[in-house]
């Protein structure tokens, strides 16, 4: 870590010299945050072999080599290598995508070097540099102001406050809260107005942003629920394999069978029990979902994160820039004759008599003239200046008022800029040939203090003390609703040289502002509510403002709802079993919350068993994005540190994309459960067939290479087709699954065993019939088992449509990939019979007509009886907690 910055010193008039800048860059290090270093290709590749399934398969390969079964050993190793290469390619592609995203965040900064203003990469700004900033730039480092001209900085990325901070030279104590350090600039914040010059005091990790980045690194991230469930399922399968192998060997030894043959059969059991393609299919299913989300502008950093978001039941969301547009708009205008609340879109002047009054026209003129912002209706996004002033110009345009003509016809003669002491701004304009017109805006109590009259429908009338008190109460009412409030007034002067022209004003009214909700927020939150997902606002903004936004977007409809503030959190958290925790778990809005407190809230909900997602765009969101089960960062407005900490990055900053990710996550988990049920039932049938034939004294029944060939067919192609289905349209109409629910629920295990027993019984019947009644040789009988099991497993894919789904109208039949997989597998089975090399390796014999009938009969029985089994289960009452696939 670079050394700490020295105390501020007076800079040279021309800034640092190039030589000194290079020396300090070596001394203090680059002005870059500590970021996650991408894993090298070797580490990514080795990570693919950290699997219990791989360990068991490797052990089976070692035993095969020990018995000099070279073909079997090499085949097993080939399967392991194929699985590793596929996982490596997918993870490497995802890592490369995030590296490209980080490169998009490169920026430059303007500094004084050798007496000249020059642009340098932001990473080369160093301690002692004189930094120049102006509207539209991002501050490159922490610095102390040397000069400022109407400098306003949006620090919402650090503090959560929507309003920009007016910077001034008055020193603030170093221990003052961030929002009160008005003489300092902070790395990562945006300049929205004015210009400034500052001395750099901190770079890289020694900035406020760097401190939060370090907090991000300390937030530990655990394995996703899907990863944990797949690992648990793998352990279950391995234990089942070892148990069955031990029983088989013990029974065989008791029967006096050959130890060599028993160990050979145990290897076959290990190969049969392990669904080699499970991790590949799971990875490809997630990758397919990632590609679908990419078309919805969602960048997925970790594939398993998509499924985890599908299981999310709590979403913590920031307010500024996530629920709102991070730009001010006029919400209310309060005139002496009444008030008007504005909805988005063009204002219908003719339908609102109050807006046709002379008082409203006076208010618009004052709002336009006492204004330093620039605004073009054709390109509202390019507006510059104070957001409140931009909003006033937008109001004038929506009201049909020609702001450009008004400004051109009223030349500005003088200006009293806004000051934190006077809390108002005033401008003086030429009114006609002789007179002048003063426009004033500011805090209600300050403007009222300079007013002697009020503009009414009957003209300007004296302002009484009772009316002053009433206007102050109205301003307080608006503030309690979370609105930013400005008062406007004017005065007509006899000439431009009149002294004290900002006094003896005529009161016009109040204008209240609100950061408007994003247009897609309400439908997106409604979709979350319908899906059983709870959305909670966590912001650093004012409690009243947070509650107002929460009610606007229907996050809460409780009129008596209150926001829990950061100041209250410590006391509430200290009572984990009392009323404090109950209030925390019921609250829908948290305000004035620090980054560390966001971590506490996420931990609290995770301890309650919830799967927590966190959305945000600012630096202050980054620790929570890392700590949450799923972090969702905004890619357009978001900071680099937020994108680094998150698992998903929304490239369009649309909350609706989160809903799409939730839906895709649910579809993916349903698909995973579907193909896991298919794999487990198929592999259990292989285990039962091998065990039964072996215990009956007819050899292994199936050879290791045959089982590997079967698994490469059924464990990959049909399973993959099931894993990439589009899912049901009703997937978002059900509550999220329990976060601790395994992939295979008890009902699924019973169904898998039933399907496996069905296939085993049908195949054993065919095998017994062929040996006892048809007189098939042992080698041909083995082929009946091999091809019969292959055909039965391929047709078994149609049993995966789900219990209770229509026979001829379901997801599996509509899935084109299923038909493609069946065609491919049928072709490979034909090749295994026709190609001499495969016939030799798989020990395939010529098949007669009776043998072909014995192959087809079990497959048809599995399809017909499997559908009957599904029908019976759909009409059999089961508990929701143990319901089989697709039920409850």
Q: List Cα–Cα distances, 868 to 367, 441, 545, 700, 811, in angstroms.
A: 75, 78, 59, 31, 18
Helices (H), 138-258: 156-159, 208-218, 225-254
Q: Residue 240, exposed/middle/buried by CB under 10 A (0-12, 13-18, 19+)?
A: middle
Q: Is residue 650 a contact partner of residue 658, using CB atoms and an 8 Å limit?
A: yes
Alpha carbons 62 and 51: distance in angstroms, whole number: 17
Checking phi first, is residue 376 left (phi over 0); if not, alpha (psi -120 to 50) or beta?
beta
User: Could you write out the three-class secondary structure of 789-850?
Assistant: HHHHHHHHHHHHHCCCCCCCCCHHHHCHHHHHHHHHHHHHHHHHHHCHHHHHHHCCCCCCHH
Instruction: Give the list of residues 6+ apart from residue 343 with CB closer than 8 angstroms, or none.
Output: none
Q: How many residues does the chain have?
A: 888
Please name the residues in contact with 298: beta carbons below 8 A apart, sequence gap of 6 or more. Answer: 648, 649, 650, 651, 657, 660, 661
318 carries an active-site annotation: yes
DSSP 658: H
Q: For residue 868, what are the contacts with CB-CB under 8 A and spacing of at least 6?
A: none
**Pick from 237, 269, 266, 271: nearest CA to 250:** 266
285, 287, 288, 291: CA torsion to nearest 10: 160
Angle between helix axes 259-273 and 704-714 (nearest 10 degrees) is 0
Taking every pair of Cα atoms in the chain, the longest distance, rounded to a whole number of angstroms, is 122
Whole-angstrom Cα distance, residue 115 to residue 99? 36
What 3-state class would DSSP assign to 177?
A: coil
Query: In this structure, what are the phi and psi dihedrals at residue 783, rounded to the nearest 5 degrees?
Result: -65, -35
- Assign 446 to helix, strand or coil: helix
Candidate list 69, 142, 318, 748, residue with the active-site label: 318
- Residue 438 has what DSSP assignment? E
| H runs (alpha helix) in 104-205 | 156-159
DSSP code, position 619: G
- Measured CA to CA, the distance from residue 538 to residue 319 in angstroms comes to 7
Q: Measured between alpha carbons, how far is residue 155 from residues 189, 216, 356 in Å?
A: 5, 19, 38
| Percentages (nearest 5) of helix, strand, coil residues in the chain | 50, 15, 30
**Angle at alpha carbon of residue 388, lines to 387 and 393, rounded to 5°:** 95
Q: Across the strands, what pairs with 650?
A: 298, 634
- Using DSSP's 3-state secondary structure scheme, residue 659 falls into helix
- The angle at the Cα of 485, spanning 481 to 490, to the nearest 5 degrees, equals 150
Residue 442, phi then psi, degrees to nearest 5? 170, -165
Kindly give, in sequence order, each residue whose CB lies less than 8 Å from that of residue 844, ignoring residues fewer than 6 positions away: 783, 786, 832, 833, 838
End-to-end CA distance of the chain: 54
Are the beta carbons of 440 and 451 closer than 8 angstroms? Answer: no
Kindly state the DSSP code that residue 52 receives in the 8-state scheme. Answer: H
Contact 31, 138 (CB under 8 A): no
The residues assigned a catalytic role are 318
């Amino acid at each position: 870590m670079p050394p700490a910055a020295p105390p501020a010193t007076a800079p040279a008039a021309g800034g640092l010299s190039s030589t000194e800048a290079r020396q300090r860059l070596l001394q203090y290090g680059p002005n870059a945050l500590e970021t996650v270093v991408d894993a090298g290709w070797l580490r990514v590749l080795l990570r693919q072999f950290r699997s219990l399934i791989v360990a068991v398969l490797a052990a089976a390969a070692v035993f095969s080599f020990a018995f000099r079964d070279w073909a079997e050993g090499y085949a097993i190793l080939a399967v392991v290598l194929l699985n590793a290469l596929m996982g490596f390619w997918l993870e490497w592609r995802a890592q490369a995508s995030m590296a490209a995203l980080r490169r998009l965040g490169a920026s430059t900064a303007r500094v004084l070097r050798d007496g000249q203003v020059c642009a340098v990469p932001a990473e080369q700004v160093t301690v002692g540099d004189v930094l120049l900033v102006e509207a539209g730039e991002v501050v490159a480092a922490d610095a102390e102001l040397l000069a400022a001209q109407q400098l306003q900085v949006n620090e919402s990325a650090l503090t959560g406050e929507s309003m920009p901070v007016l910077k001034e030279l008055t020193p603030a104590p170093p221990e003052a809260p961030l929002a009160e350090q008005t003489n300092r600039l902070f790395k990562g914040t945006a300049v929205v107005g004015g210009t400034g010059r500052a001395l750099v005091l901190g770079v890289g990790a020694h900035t406020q942003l760097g401190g939060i980045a370090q907090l991000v690194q300390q937030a530990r991230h655990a394995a996703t629920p899907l990863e944990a469930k797949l690992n648990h399922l793998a352990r279950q399968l391995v234990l089942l394999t070892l148990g069955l192998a031990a029983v088989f060997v013990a029974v065989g030894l008791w029967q006096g069978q050959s130890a060599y043959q028993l160990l050979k059969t145990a290897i076959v059991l290990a190969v049969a029990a392990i669904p080699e393609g499970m991790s590949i299919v799971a990875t490809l299913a997630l990758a397919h979902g990632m590609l679908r989300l990419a078309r919805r502008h969602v960048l997925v950093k970790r594939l398993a994160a998509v499924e985890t978001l599908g299981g999310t039941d709590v979403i913590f969301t920031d307010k500024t820039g996530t629920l709102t547009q991070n730009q001010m708009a006029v919400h209310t205008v309060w005139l002496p004759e009444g008030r008007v609340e504005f909805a988005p879109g063009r204002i219908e002047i003719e339908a609102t008599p109050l807006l046709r009054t002379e008082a409203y026209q006076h208010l618009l003129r004052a709002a336009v003239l006492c204004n330093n912002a620039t605004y073009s209706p054709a390109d509202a996004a390019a507006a510059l200046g104070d957001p409140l002033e931009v909003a006033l110009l937008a109001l004038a345009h929506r009201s049909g008022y020609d702001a450009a003509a008004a400004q051109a016809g009223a030349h500005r003669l003088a200006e009293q800029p806004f000051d934190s002491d006077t809390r108002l701004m005033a401008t003086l304009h030429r009114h006609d040939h002789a007179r002048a017109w003063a426009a004033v805006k500011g805090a209600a109590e300050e403007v009222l203090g300079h007013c002697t009259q009020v503009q009414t429908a009957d003209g300007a009338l004296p302002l009484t003390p009772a009316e002053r008190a009433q206007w102050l109460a109205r301003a307080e009412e608006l503030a309690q609703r979370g609105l930013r409030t400005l008062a406007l007034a004017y005065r007509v002067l006899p000439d431009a040289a009149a002294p004290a022209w900002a006094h003896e004003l005529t009161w016009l009214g109040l204008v209240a502002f609100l950061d408007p909700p994003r247009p897609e927020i309400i439908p997106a939150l409604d979709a979350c509510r319908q899906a059983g997902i709870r959305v909670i606002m966590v912001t650093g903004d004012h409690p009243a403002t947070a509650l107002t936004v929460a009610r606007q977007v229907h996050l809460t409809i409780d009129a008596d709802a209150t926001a829990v503030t950061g100041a209250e959190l410590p006391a509430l958290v200290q009572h984990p079993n009392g009323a404090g925790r109950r209030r925390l778990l019921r609250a829908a809005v948290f305000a004035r919350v620090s980054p560390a407190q966001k971590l506490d809230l996420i931990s609290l909900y995770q301890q309650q068993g919830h799967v927590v997602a966190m959305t945000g765009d600012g630096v202050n969101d980054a620790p929570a994005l890392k700590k949450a089960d799923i972090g969702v960062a905004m890619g357009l407005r978001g900071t680099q540190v937020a994108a680094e900490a998150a698992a998903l990055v929304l490239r369009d900053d649309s909350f609706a994309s989160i809903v799409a990710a939730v839906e895709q996550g649910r579809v993916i988990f349903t698909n995973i459960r579907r193909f896991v049920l298919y794999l487990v039932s198929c592999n259990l049938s292989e285990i039962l067939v091998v065990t039964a034939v072996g215990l009956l004294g007819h050899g292994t029944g199936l050879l290791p290479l045959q089982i590997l060939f079967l698994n490469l067919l059924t464990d990959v192609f049909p399973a993959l087709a099931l894993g990439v289905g589009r899912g049901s349209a009703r997937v978002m109409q059900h509550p999220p699954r329990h976060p601790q629910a395994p992939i295979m629920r008890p009902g699924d295990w019973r169904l898998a065993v039933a399907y496996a027993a069905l296939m085993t019984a049908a195949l054993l019947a065919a095998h017994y019939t062929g040996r006892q009644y048809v007189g098939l040789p042992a080698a041909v009988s083995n082929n009946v088992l091999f091809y019969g099991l292959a055909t039965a497993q391929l047709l078994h894919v149609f049993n995966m449509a789900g219990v209770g789904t229509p026979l001829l109208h379901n997801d599996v039949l509509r899935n084109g990939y299923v038909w493609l997989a069946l065609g491919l597998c049928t072709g490979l089975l034909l090749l295994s019979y026709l190609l001499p090399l495969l016939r030799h390796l798989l020990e395939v014999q010529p098949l007669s007509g009776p043998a072909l009938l014995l192959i087809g009969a079990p497959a048809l029985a599995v399809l017909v009886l499997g559908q009957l089994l599904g029908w019976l289960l759909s009409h059999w009452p089961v508990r929701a907690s143990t319901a089989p696939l697709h039920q409850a």
